[in-house]
Structures are given as structure tokens and as C-alpha cells.
Structure 1
Amino acid sequence: MNLEQMAYALEVAKTASITTASASLCVTQSTISQAITRLEKELGIKLFERSRNGAYPLEQAKAIFDKFKSVLDTIQMIKEDAEYIGELISGELRLSAIPGGIPAIIKAVASMKNIHADLTFELSEKPSSLIIKDIRDKQADLGLIALYQDDIDEQLQGLRFYPIDEGFMRICVNSSSALAANKSIALQDLKEQTFVLFNDELIDQFILALSSEIGDVNVLFRTNNSEVINAALQQLNAVTVGHEYSFAHHTNFQRNDYFAKELDMPQRLISIGWVLQESKASSTTIRRFLDRFQYVSLSK
């Protein structure tokens, strides 16, 4: 049994697919399949129920997967400790993020706090334009933002940007919506919908483009509070708009209470990533946090 086998097994358990795990880990499907077969043989227990529809982790193997994750987490911590050994990590780290980015950030914050008790955090949720302003004004150290990819050079001139994801705007509906069963949503399906929106320039531009296609969009309200939008989706059967990354870590999506749907209209590509002052790129605290964030995001 080795770390590679554990990593393969955890990725397959997370995606329920050897094909998807193969693409994520950049190894062949055969390599993953053979590694899991050897691992199951060594342990003397089946870890997955395999079929043409996927590879599903067995309930009886849950404790084993938990231990695999614990081992890999420990190894990752050792690697990070070795890289930053002798460097003091303390003080305050001021973080700001677009809606949807907070859950993954909290996981990284909790993980770092367990190791660096003297490190404190300040965390806020804002539109990308305000996050960028805070970074320039030195009111925040690190910001998770979303920008149209072809606007990055102009809007982030003089700043450092680390992209972590890309994609397009999605329409979000709750599970009881008539649109929930659709793989994608046609423009005419949105004419009678009530929208609740986060105050964000990308969302404003998207709604403007949508209005040019279907006429006036019925917007009930705009807010800077993502929990208010969450309540409106649940109670008012409203719909909202956001980048697909914004929905990925939300508990309601993981429980299938909400669904993010593709929209049948041309869109500009959006990039998600971390922005910071060039002068802070060498900060040990920031480098350590970005390492933690990347690791907890990949192992979610």
C-alpha cells in the first residue's frame, strides 16, 4: 500500500468515476484501475462497486477512506512544515471573497489555525470590484475574485493574479422549480422568472445581456448578503445568477437542494482567482495560506 494508491482511491471515491479521476489526476484510467485492484487485494476488502455507470465507494469502506485522507493530510502538512520550517507565521491575514468562495476559505482558515495558533484572520464577502479596490488601498491582503478573462490585464494592472478556476455564469434554481429537471435552460424559460441578485458588476453585465435577448428581467431585489438570496431561493421559488464556482462549495448544492443550470446563450469566459499586491507575493503567511487553500479545495 502506498500514498499514490490512497490518492487514487480518494479521487475515485469523490467523483464516483475512474474516468473523471483520471482526467483530474492526469494519469490513465488503466493506471488508476490497476492501483485500486492491487489496493483491494492487499486489504482483502472491496472498496468500490464498479459498473459501466461508475465506481461507487462502499459504505463498509468509509472508515478506510477516512484513514486514507488522514494519512494524506498528515503528509501534506509535513511537506508544508518542511518548506516553511524556521519561518514565523503569526499576525493577521485579511481575506476577502466573492459569494460562494467563503466555505472553502473557512476550511483553509481552520486548517491553518490548528497549526498556527498566533495567526488571526479577518474575512469579508464583497463584489470583485470592491475587493480589488481594497487590495489596492491595502485594506485587504488577499482577495478571491471573478473577472471576465479578457478584462484581467486592464483591471488588475500592477497586481498579482493566481487563477484557480474558469467557467461561465449559471442560473441557480431550487429543487422544486419547474426548471430543475432541465439540463440547460432556454432563454424563453426565464421570461416569467423572478430574479434575486447579488450586487456584482459581472452579474449586472450578465443581466443586461439577458435583457437584450428576452426583454426586461423581473428583478425582485439586489443585495450584498448571500444568505438573503439563499432564503429567497428557498421561500420564494426565485432564481439567481452566479459563476458556477460560486455554487460548488455550497451545502445546498451538495444536498441537491439547489441546481446550477447552463444557459443557452453565448457568454464570455470568466476566471476565478486570488489577487494581491506584488509586494505581498513573497509573504510566508500568504504562500502558506494559498498552499492550504489549494489542498483543502482539492481534497473536499
Structure 2
Amino acid sequence: MNIEQLKYIVEISNAGSLKTAAQKLNISLPALSQSVTKLEKELSITIFHRSRKGTHPTGEGKILIQKANEVLEKLQAFFDEAEKFTHTLKGELKIATFPGPLDLLADQITLYKKDFPFTKASIEEDNSQHIIEKVIKEEVDIGFILYTEEDIKNNKNIRFHKLYNGCMVVAVNKKSPLANNSYITEKMLENQPIILYNDHSILDFVQNLDVLEHKMEILFTTNNVETIRYALERNTAINIGYDYAFKTITGLANNNSYVTLPFVDTIKNNYYFGYIYPAHKGITQVTKEFLKRLT
């Protein structure tokens, strides 16, 4: 048995197929299959059921894969601790983020690089669903997203760390009759022209509103925050979105041309802001040091 074999069974479990895992691990399919078969023979245990529908862990396999996850996390902690003794932090930090904290993260990376010049850092902006996919594929080390309990339930291979509790709000121009209210009901949204930021939690929330069918006018969705700001300032549409966005995103925050209103208490609309990372991989020392400074 070796460490590579532990990595292999964890990746196969996450991918659900030998072919996908082999592509991710950048090794040939026969080599991966042979390595797992060799491990199974060594342990005298069948770790995976193989079929045309995919490769899935057996009951015993699930337990061993969980233990392999724990071993790999401990191994990463070992390397991180050893790295401290070199007195020079090295490595790469790849971040993907929802637009809100982009400016803050960029400022922190600048300061971080001054203290750790031998590190490399990159940051990209995207919506929360795409960031979840990038974290699962390990295209980035860490993602800052807005998410719901449903996202936690549907992504067991991701660790979620909450930083902020939020709620959905409706943004309306101050000249709109809606601006005179202290909260928004579904009835008030009837026949209102609406634009939405293209994020899965926002779209799911709107889809579940009873008023949607026949009575709500969704003009379009967009990934451009400036388009939303433009429509709000000119009173051509209203926007349903995250309260966090209107507190943090440049262009949306501190804008005197519109107001944000909460939904009535009977409408469940909670979400969280925080960071995510692959459950089986853990967080590297480079990432840990950045998060320590950020918080």
C-alpha cells in the first residue's frame, strides 16, 4: 500500500467512475484500475463495485475511503508543519469569488504577497454555482460564495465555512411606489419588471415564489453588476438579490438612487456567505495563512 493508492480511491469515489478519475489524476485508465485491484488484493477487501453505470464504493469501501481521507488530511498537515521550519512560505493560491468581496480580497492578496514574495496568487470572479464546480474539479484552492442549506446537502465532497448570515432583498428606485413600503410581499411583485443576477440561489428563490407564474415579469438575467445598477438608477426595473451584494459590491453599495427592502417574514429566504474547499484535500498552509489574515 502507498499514499498514491489512497489518493486514487478517494478520487474514484468522488468522480463515480474510473475513467473520470484517471483523467483527473492524469494517469492511464489501465494503470489506475491495476493499482486499485492490487490494493484490494493486498487488503482482501472489495473496495468498489464496477459496472457500466459507474464505479461505486462497497459498504467496506466507504469506511476505508473515509479513513483514507483522514490520512491524506493528516499528511497535508504534516507537510504544512514542516514548511513552517523553512521560514519561507512557498506555493500557489488560486481563489474564485462571488463579486461582493472582490476588492477586499484583491487588497489582501497585495499585502500577502509583500510578506510572502515566493508565493503565487490569482483571483477570478464568477457566480456561486460555477465556483462550486471549480472547487470540486480542484481548479481553484478556495471559493468565496453565497450558498444555502440545499447547497450543503447536495455537495458532500465540499467543506463549507460560514462567515455571514444573509437574506434576499428587493432593490427599487426611490421614485418607485414600492420604495414607500417597509417590506415586500409577493403581491407587490405582480407586473413589476425584474432583472436578476444569474446565480442559482437567486433563481431558485424566485422560481419558488407563488407569484411567478403569469404575474411576474422577468425581463432577463445577467452576470453584469453594472447592468443591474444602470436599470435601478433609471427606474426601468427592480432587482431581487442578496443583501450582502448591496453592502459590498462596488457600484451597488452606497448608491443613493435606490433602496433595498426585505421580504415579509413569511417568505423563507435565508442564505450564507463563506468560503469552500475540497473536503478530501483540506487547506494548504499558503491558504491557511491567507485566511488567517483575511478574518
Whether the TM-score (by the shorter chain) exceeds 0.5 is: yes
Match of 1:136 in 2: 136
Alpha-carbon distance between aligned partners in 2 of 1:92 and 1:120, rounded to the nearest angstrom: 5
Does 2:108 align with 1:108?
yes
Amino-acid identity (%): 25
Distance 1:268 1:180, change over 3 A: closer
Q: TM-score, normalised by structure 1?
A: 0.61
Alpha-carbon distance between aligned partners in 2 of 1:288 and 1:88, rounded to the nearest angstrom: 12
Q: C-alpha deviations, 1:242-271, integer Å up to 9, x for none?
A: 221222213443344443210124114212
Match of 2:239 in 1: 240
Match of 1:291 in 2: 292
SS of corresponding position for 2:156: coil
Match of 2:201 in 1: 202
Does 2:166 align with 1:167?
yes
**Equivalent residue letter for 1:108:** Q
Distance 1:212 1:173, change over 3 A: closer
Distance 1:89 1:186, change over 3 A: same
Q: C-alpha deviations, 1:161-193, integer Å up to 9, x for none?
A: 111111221112244433334321232322232
The RMSD of aligned alpha carbons is 2.6
Does 2:279 align with 1:281?
no
Distance 1:119 1:236, change over 3 A: farther
SS of corresponding position for 1:240: strand
Gaps of 5+ in 2: 1-83
Distance 1:180 1:101, change over 3 A: farther
Asked if the contact 1:87–1:284 (Cα under 8 Å) also holds between the matched residues in 2, the reply is: no
Distance 1:178 1:111, change over 3 A: farther
Distance 1:246 1:106, change over 3 A: same
Asked if the contact 2:161–2:276 (Cα under 8 Å) also holds between the matched residues in 1, the reply is: yes
For residue 275 of structure 1, report the CA deviation from its aligned partner.
Answer: 0.5
Asked if the contact 1:169–1:243 (Cα under 8 Å) also holds between the matched residues in 2, the reply is: yes
SS of corresponding position for 2:160: strand
For residue 211 of structure 1, report the CA deviation from its aligned partner.
Answer: 4.5
**Equivalent residue letter for 2:121:** F
For residue 281 of structure 1, report the CA deviation from its aligned partner.
Answer: 3.1
For residue 88 of structure 1, report the CA deviation from its aligned partner.
Answer: 3.1
Asked if the contact 2:245–2:253 (Cα under 8 Å) also holds between the matched residues in 1, the reply is: no
Match of 1:121 in 2: 121
Alpha-carbon distance between aligned partners in 1 of 2:181 and 2:113, rounded to the nearest angstrom: 42
For residue 229 of structure 1, report the CA deviation from its aligned partner.
Answer: 2.0
**Equivalent residue letter for 1:259:** V
Match of 1:223 in 2: 222
Asked if the contact 1:203–1:241 (Cα under 8 Å) also holds between the matched residues in 2, the reply is: yes
Distance 1:284 1:267, change over 3 A: same
Runs of 4+ in 1 over 6 A off after TM superposition: none
Asked if the contact 2:205–2:269 (Cα under 8 Å) also holds between the matched residues in 1, the reply is: no
Asked if the contact 2:195–2:220 (Cα under 8 Å) also holds between the matched residues in 1, the reply is: yes
Alpha-carbon distance between aligned partners in 2 of 1:232 and 1:207, rounded to the nearest angstrom: 19
Greater Rg over alpha carbons, structure: 2
Asked if the contact 1:191–1:214 (Cα under 8 Å) also holds between the matched residues in 2, the reply is: no
For residue 91 of structure 1, report the CA deviation from its aligned partner.
Answer: 4.0
For residue 142 of structure 1, report the CA deviation from its aligned partner.
Answer: 0.8
Alpha-carbon distance between aligned partners in 2 of 1:158 and 1:249, rounded to the nearest angstrom: 29
SS of corresponding position for 2:253: helix
Does 2:287 align with 1:267?
no
Alpha-carbon distance between aligned partners in 2 of 1:280 and 1:258, rounded to the nearest angstrom: 43
Asked if the contact 2:147–2:271 (Cα under 8 Å) also holds between the matched residues in 1, the reply is: yes
SS of corresponding position for 1:179: helix
Q: C-alpha deviations, 1:54-80, integer Å up to 9, x for none?
A: xxxxxxxxxxxxxxxxxxxxxxxxxxx
Alpha-carbon distance between aligned partners in 1 of 2:87 and 2:227, rounded to the nearest angstrom: 41
Asked if the contact 2:171–2:261 (Cα under 8 Å) also holds between the matched residues in 1, the reply is: yes
Asked if the contact 1:177–1:237 (Cα under 8 Å) also holds between the matched residues in 2, the reply is: no
